[in-house]
Structure formats: C-alpha cells, structure tokens
A and B are shown apart, each in its own frame.
Chain A
Amino acid sequence: MTFNQLTIKEALDALTSGSLKIEKLYQDLDLSIQDKNKLYNIYLNFNTDAKKEAKLLENTQLKGLPIAVKDNFCSKNLPTTASSKILENFIPQYESTVTKRLQKAGGVIVGKTNLDAWAHGSSTETSDFGPTLNPRNPDHLPGGSSGGSAAAVAADLCLAAIASETAGSIRQPAAWCGTVGLKPSYGRVSRFGVIAMASSMDTPGVISKTVEDACLVLNSFAGPDSRDATCYQNPAPDFSKFLDQDIKGLKIGLIYHDLEGLEEVNEKLAQELAVLSQLGAKVEKVQALDPHHAIAVYTVVQRAEVSSNLARFDGVRYGKDRAFFGDEAKRRIMLGTFILSKGYAEQYYNLAQKVRTLYLNDFAQLFKKYDVLVSPSSPGFAKKLDASAGSPMFGELEDILLEASSISGLPGISVPYYRDPQSNLFLGANFVAAMWREDLAIKVADAFEKNTKWNTWRNR
C-alpha cells in the first residue's frame, strides 16, 4: 500500500503521530500520478508548487494534504478552463471562495480535474480535452460532470476532491466510481469563483473516500460568504460531529422503488438497507412525486440559465470566439434562448418554476414523516465509453433519481452499496435530507458505510 491510498482521516492521524512525513505522501502521489494520469485523463493541469506548499502547512487543520479540484473553480495563477477550449488560456487573478478557504485550512490543490465542458453532462465525454476513464474499469465512463474529481479519488491520485453539482454532477460520478459524493444544501457553500452553470442550483461539494473525509473537507469551506448573495446566512455546523451517531428511531423513506427499469438496482438497495433496520432505524417504502417531471423542470430552468451564463463568452475577451463552443454547449444555449423568448417564457420557463414548487411542496410533506429519503443514485452501473454520443438527454436520464432533490436545493450524499464482481463497477445509494439537514443524511450514510462491506478504503 502507498500513502496516497490513505483516507484524509488516516493521513491526518499518521501525520499527527509522526509515522508519516508529508514529503513521503507526495512522493507516492507523484508516482501514482505519473503512472495513471495519462491513462485515465484525470488532471488537466497541475499545481507544480503543491509539495512546496504542503511542507509549510503542518500545523493546519488539513496539514497540507493533496486535494483535487474540479476545473470549474477559479484558482489564482492556475489555468481554469471548465474543460472548454474557450478558456484554454484563461488564468484567473482571483480565487474561488471554496479553494481559498480550503487552502487556508491547509488543503493543497494538486491540480485541476477534467469535467464535461462547462459541467454540461454526466459522462465527462463532452470535455474539450478528451474523456476521463473510470479507474474501476477503464472501458467505462466515470460519470459526470465531476468525472475527473471522482476518478481522482477512485485512483488515489488525491486524498479527496472538490466538485460541484447542479443536478447529479457530484453524486452520479461518485456512485459510478465507487466513491462518496456529498452535495450540501444549495446555499450552504459559496458559489463565488465557480464558473456558473445553472446559478439557481449550482452547489459546490466534495467527492471523497469516506463519509468521514467528506465531512472533514466540507468543514473547511462551508458557511456564509459575503461575496455570494444566495449563500445561507447561518454558520455551518461541524459536520464531523454527526459521525458515529446512533440512528435508532430515525425514519427512512425508500423512494423511487417502483420505477420501471430500476428493478435490479432497487432490489439490491432494499437488501442492503436491511442493515439500517438492524441499527434501529425504521425503513419503509414511500411514494414521492414522479421524478420524470423533474427532468423537464430541470432541463428548462437549467438551459435558460446556461444560455444567459455563457453569454459572457462572446468573443470579445478570453481570446477565443463562440465557434469554440462544443456541440453540447451550443445545444443548451439555443434551447435556453428559445425557452426565454417572448411568447415562450410563459409556456416553458414560468411553468417549469411552478412545477418546481410542486416538488418543493412534495418534499416538505415527505420530510414531515421521514428524516431521510433514500434511492439509488443512478439507474445502473457506469456506462461504457461513447455511451453519451448522439444522446443529448443522456445526462438527464442518468440523473433522473437526483434531479428532483437538486431542483429543490436539498442536501444529499451518495455512498457505495454494491460492487459487481465481474466488472468491478459500483452502485451508489443517495441519502437525501431536508434543507440544511446535512446532519441527518450524514448520520445515516456514515452508519450505512461503516456497517456494510462496499467501501473499498474501509475494507482493504
């Protein structure tokens, strides 16, 4: 075993006890990166000062541990491309709030990870810099849009990764790569310095090896930020205090259990959830609003916001004109422009916002009865390479189980619940809680992870 395979918690303990020197960790990491990065196409750019920075951070919370950052977070003096050719030569002169706080807490940016261009997709195949391969099985996709971050964690090319989700972009790749993906409540984390996709849903979060690690990393950057008007005003709790908690008496609703085509993943999930009942939680099936409408709502709202958010790349600045937009971005810009046009906004955009309210109300009702809702994170295992080609709705269909909670702003966390022995591919379970109740989702996900055999770092 090499030191880059440690979890955040293990590495922090080893550094504290003196059994590990940070230089040694970075040596192992460098070797792994040399070995695997070209193969999987995970990092687009590296921070060449990472090791140097890490040495100075011994007395910080994260002690200089190497963190991967999705390449849609602006990082001062490091290229930030959103995996689009348009920003190929863009080097921000400012730092996103997330990466600034991460660094202040002692995290070191190893490099910037690949994503679907502009975070448009669920495969990382729409990246202008080539697809990322799934380290669990390189014939398959890592999911997306945070495919690079999920792959970096799965391949141990970092100790944890920063990612962002609009609807599924953290949890779906986390599930496909057999890692943990934590999407906090919308507004829990500042969006300042994150290249906007759909502003009313974009949420920075973490992809990590364990639920515990996700909490430790989230602790470094969650909380109010005066640079983001949509950021929640209340201070964030210490998320790690929700670990190792008794879940006796918690009520867990199993949603989307009767969706057609999901029989296999749902059956496996139901089996695995038995462990929660054994721990004293009450698990039962419950009906939630049909998630198919959420796809429509999400598609309309997201395309509309995308068409406006990408308008700044008008060819005047950044050195590359609009011809450098990929097909997916062009499709979304055109659809969004149409959706907001006079005479159509009422039929599409305004109607979508009304239906969005129906989902909010449905979840409000469900959370009166349940502490946590659970379903698979994705309809199936990671798809094969090229699966997204020619399928403009690929992402929306892959994220069907996540979009309803995303348009509602809810926090969710995906943890592995099955590994297929033949393909070495994983399934993830998505635990969702009410707004600002990450605590409940973390409690249940942590208990589930620690009492099942699927987490590859806990079960080495």
Chain B
Amino acid sequence: MKRRVVITACSAITPIGYGKENIVQSLQQGRSGVKPLRDDGLLTGHIHSRVFGTVDYPIAYEFTRSQRKTMGPVAYYACQVAKDVLAESGLPQEFISSGRLGVAFGSTHGSPTVQREIYKTFFQNLETEFSSIGAVDYLRSMVHTTAVNITRMFGITGRVIASSTACTTSSQAVGFGYEMVKYGMQDAMLCGGADEYDTTTVAVFDNLLACSVGYNDRPECTPRPFDKKRDGLVVGEGGGAVLLEEYEAAKKRGAPILAEVIGFACNNNGGDLILPNLQGITSTLRLALQDAAIGPEAVEYICAHATATKMGDIIESQAIEAVYGRGPFVSGLKSYTGHTMGTCGVIELIMTLYMMADGFLAPTLNLDEIDSRCAMLTHTPGLIEAKTNIAAIQNFAFGGVNTCLLVKNGLEAV
C-alpha cells in the first residue's frame, strides 16, 4: 500500500521569530537571529566562538505544573510547537488518542541543561546524604524527552519514533513519519525536533575548529554559507513541528493542504563520522528523486544544509551540481537562524513551506562574495518573487547520516 502524504499544519520557534508572520518578515527583511553567546557560567569563557542563533523573545507558555514536571527546556519548545500544530489542525481528541496518530520527534541529546544539573550533583558532591537527583530528572533529560512529553501532554497513543542523529534528527523524523503514513502504519504523524540553548554543543564544534570565530563582534555577519569569507557554523536553538496526514483523509475533512511530501531518502556514508562525503550525499539526493519518481529538472528550489563550514559547503555544492546541474535556485537558510542542530531540518522545511505559500525565495544571508568552489550553482539572487512547485530540503549530520526531503506546493498537490 502506498498512500499520498500531505502536510496540514506547521509551527516553528526560531532565532528569527515564532510563527509564520515573524519568520516571513525576517526572511524578507534579511534579519539575522545570530546574537552574542549567552554566558552559561561554565564553558562560555573557554569557547572561541562567541555567537549563537538565539531565541531571545518571550514565549507565553501555558503548561500546567503536572505537564511541566517532566519537561526540560527542550520539551518546552517541542510541546509548544506540537500544541500549535494540533490546535491548527483541528483534529478531534478522539482521533488524537485513537492510536492512528503517532509522533516522530527528536533532539540532539535531550536536555543538556538538566543533565548538567545532574552532573553538578556528582562532581560537586552536593547533599550526598539526600536524594539530590530529582525523580523526574531522567524524564526531563532523556533523549526521547521531546517525543514522549508530546504524547503525554496530548494523549497521543500511536507509534513513537525518537530519532537522535544530530543535524538530521528532525529531517529523519519528518521522513520516517512520511513513510509511516505512506505505507499505512499510521494515518497521521506529528513530526519535528527541538534543541535548547546549550554551550556543550558549541564547545564540541569549537574544538573541531568547525565554529565561526571571526565575527564575534558582528554576530549578524555569520554564518556565511557559500561565501568566500565563511569561517564555520553557528550553533542555534529552537523547535519545529509539522502534521503529516494521509491525503484522502485530509481532503475529506477539509484540512488545508500546505504541501505534499513526495519523496524522502536517508542513507549513511558508511565510513568517516565527521567529514562530508560527496558520494554519500550525491546518492541521497538521487535516492530522494527516485522515491518521488521525478527527474532533477522538476525541482525548482533547494534549501541546502549549508552550515558554512569550509569543506561542507563545497562538497554539498558538488553534489547539487552532479545531480541538478545549474537548474534550481539554492539558498542556505542557516545564514538567518544559525545551525539549530536537531531541529534544523524541520525548521528549514517550514521556512520553505512559508516561501512556497507566499511566492518568494530568500537568498543566503551574508553571501557577499561566492566562493569560486561553490559558484557552479544558481544561488538565489536576492529576495525574489518565485512560484515554487517542488523543493528539496537537504540535511547532513555528524555520523555520516544524510537526508533529503522533497515537497510539492500545496496548491499543486490538491
């Protein structure tokens, strides 16, 4: 059984805004969400990269204590966007709790904020006489905390997939959710990812010389995907969720069709866990086209992974050229948000949906002088009006995991 799968609701909390209006405004006005790295009182002083894709606006959470008690900061982002999506969908509680709706949701490593508090107890020998580690600390910090806090909050009883593959966490969530619905295992899937403010991740990439360090005094000027003067990625935070539904059921209940997911691919480089791999990535892009049963000429826009690392952008450019030639417009939207890690895939998908819906494409921010090794692509030349029918969202992760999602404009899908 193969069924059509459509996106009927979405929501994102990002460094450039929360909700469609704010995010579209930032994309259209070229507004960066990269700010100075907040002081965590622990690692910040030792990190060379002093920039962060920051969610610094207030969010009016309305979670009860009973809901909050198992949630770390990462679950706040996750549950808030999930709440938005379920509210927007209008799905009745009877369906939500029927077992036919599942959740595919992840984060890079649960809640590092809560984990840090646990380690403080160990290493500072605090209150060893008492039960210093709270009963709920595991529930707040565990790697599947986002997925199961969502199921708990909304009474969702279907399947749970809690991917945790760094930068492909949420693109895998959407892809695996798509396959769940496509092959009839579930009728709908709530998919996405979230990651909280965390300096551990910054320190890791900083140690690997992968973080941007040259723009600490001008945070909005970095990251600079495909630019000659790019000097690395900028870690960020946020959350995003989409609702996937079986097309016929969505149509029958009159749900708005934001887009159709027409293809997904996920593979692994089968070797090095850090270095980008041209063969692996190229293969992912081709596999997604095969899954969608379309040729490369059908794709009009590519939302590139484009983290602004020295090698990553070049390898991705080569892969795009090998599969697509100069055909589609390409932009790297991490230039606005920074690299929101586990949530980047779904956030970039949602930004792509917004651009498709409103008929424009945003360029890569800070792309002042294209690196000659990335110049073989059709970089989106500034903010342009464009009616995009089919778009690709590409994400690649530490561990050698690659994903590509292909989506069709909702207006075309109906």
Does B associate with A? Answer: no
Name B residues whose Cβ lies closer than 8 Å to a Cβ of A: none
